[in-house]
């Protein structure tokens, strides 16, 4: 991973799961998103603040945590565009390709 953190939680997640934080950070920086949201399964929620802080440290973006339950890739929060959020990052078990014409937000996995 090219982006570094002192967070033990991020280190734990990287050892246990295949999370491509480099791509997440690169896309946010490349597209100059200033507000993003993260959607995390209940089992990862204990690391939500560490994930949000890590993304903010490396991008300068405001990071919002979707606190509702996540039941799968089809469970995309709606209305976040009203807050100026242009990107929803879903952490989950499988890749998901969103229909880009259906929502004003973008989803990267």
> SS3 sequence, the chain?
CCCCCCCHHHHHHHHHCCCCHHHHHHHHHHHCCCEEEEECCHHHHHHHHHHHHHHHHHHCCEEEEECCCCCCCCCCCCCHHHHCCCEEEECCCCCCCCCCCCCCCEEEC
- pTM metric for this prediction: 0.78
Residue 30 covered by a domain: yes
Residue 54 covered by a domain: yes
Domain that holds residue 26: 8-108
Residue 3 covered by a domain: no
Number of domains in the chain: 1
Whether 32 contacts 60, CB under 8 Å: no
pLDDT tens for the chain, residues 1 to 109: 888 777 788 888 888 888 899 999 999 999 999 999 999 888 778 889 999 999 999 999 999 998 877 776 667 788 888 899 989 998 875 555 554 444 444 555 4
Residue 22: CATH number of its domain: 3.40.50.11840
Residue 1 covered by a domain: no
Residue 56 covered by a domain: yes
């Amino acid at each position: 991973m090219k982006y570094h953190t002192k967070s033990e939680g991020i280190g734990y997640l990287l050892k246990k799961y295949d999370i491509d934080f480099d791509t997440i950070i690169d896309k946010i920086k490349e597209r100059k998103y200033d507000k993003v949201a993260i959607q995390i399964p209940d089992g990862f929620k204990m690391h939500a603040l560490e994930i949000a802080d890590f993304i903010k440290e490396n991008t300068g973006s405001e990071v919002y945590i979707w606190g509702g339950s996540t039941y799968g890739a089809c469970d995309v929060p709606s209305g976040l565009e009203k807050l100026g959020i242009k990107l929803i990052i879903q952490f989950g078990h499988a890749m998901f390709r969103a229909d880009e014409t259906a929502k004003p937000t973008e989803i990267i996995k």
